[in-house]
Amino acid sequence: MVTDQPTIIVGVLALQGAFIEHIHMLQNIPSVKQVLAVRTEEQLNSVDCLVIPGGESTAMALIAERCNLLEPLRTFVRNKPTWGTCAGMIMLADEATGAKKGGQQLLGGLSICVNRNQFGTQKDSFETMLHFPTILGENQPFHAVFIRAPIITAVKSDDVEILSRLESKVGQTDAETIVAVRQGHLMATAFHPELTRDNRLHQYFVHLALQHKK
């Protein structure tokens, strides 16, 4: 007897930034029933989980506020699986340093502090191999693309799981800098996984969301 496999509807916040690439990556995962570009509260309420892409976190927050989406997003991330990549990681952090004058709005939810643009400007972008031993295996590195990337400077709760670190000195950072974490139904990465052909982290997030839906 053939039983239907569980599926989910995944939202990608589409206010600003690299959301199209995430949509294309997620559309190739069998257990994803639909990928929805989220721009309204109605669309947000129709998805099972959410990806917040890279881009400009200050601009993203300002647009969300103008669209009356900031508070709905804050409620969503406290209840449903959300993955923030690069700027999305900044948005999910409880605290961020290096913001422009006047600061910026955050969604919060992740018990971490991040520093914006840790590695410098666009010209200081780089690529490197990262290990995710607990979710991808010891010998299955991931090719990571860092573009004006933030970094996690402090973990403020024991239930924040460190998924990956930089394993060598890069730019102005010390060895073993934290670049990926998970806390319950929330996940964050400092780099751009959607700019590779490797969808294993997208698959992992979908699995996380499926488990949360049960």
Contact 163, 182 (CB under 8 A): yes
The catalytic residue among 86, 95, 138, 207 is 86
Q: Report residue 193: phi and psi, to 5°.
A: -70, -20
Residue keyed to tokens 């029933």: 33
Residues in the chain: 214
113 part of the active site: no
The catalytic residue among 22, 185, 192, 202 is 192
194 part of the active site: yes
Report residue 191 as tokens: 């780099």
The catalytic residue among 22, 185, 194, 202 is 194
202 part of the active site: no
Contact 11, 39 (CB under 8 A): no
56 Ramachandran zone, left/alpha/beta (phi>0; psi -120 to 50): beta
**174 burial type by CB count under 10 A (0-12 exposed, 13-18 middle, 19+ buried):** exposed
Catalytic annotation, residues: 86, 192, 194
